[in-house]
């Protein structure tokens, strides 16, 4: 269900179960393949991104847009 929300560009940031959804996905990966789970866990940045809050990620996105496209106006 979460995958469908993401793939249809629906907002998931304020989804109340996003942290649980993330944990469930990692658990399902472990059931499929411990090696795959461990590899993905090494690269997983969910808590870094989600933990900073929406305003933080929006600010980082805007800074990246300005860096790549200096003439673009920010929102």
Distance separating alpha carbons of residues 75 and 54, to the nearest angstrom: 15
- Reduced to 3 states (helix: H, G, I; strand: E, B; else coil), residue 53 is coil
What is the pLDDT, as a whole number, of residue 72?
67
Give the pLDDT score at 29: 93
Phi–psi pair at 68, nearest 5 degrees: -80, -35
pLDDT above 70 for 73: no
At 37 the pLDDT is: 93
Give 35-66 pLDDT, tens digit per residue: 999 999 999 988 888 888 888 888 888 898 88
DSSP structural state of residue 39 = H
Pair of tokens at residue 34: 């411990």
Q: What sign results for the dihedral spanned by CA atoms 42, 47, 48, 54?
A: positive
pLDDT of residue 56: 86
Q: What are the extents of the domains in the chain?
A: 2-68
The CA distance from 15 to 20, in Å, is 10
């Amino acid at each position: 269900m979460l995958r469908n929300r993401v793939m249809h560009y629906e907002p998931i940031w304020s989804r109340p179960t996003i942290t649980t959804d993330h944990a469930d996905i990692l658990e399902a990966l472990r059931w499929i393949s411990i090696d795959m789970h461990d590899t993905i866990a090494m690269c997983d940045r969910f808590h870094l991104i989600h933990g900073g809050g929406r305003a933080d990620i929006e600010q980082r996105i805007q800074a990246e847009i300005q860096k790549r496209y200096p003439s673009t106006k920010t929102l």
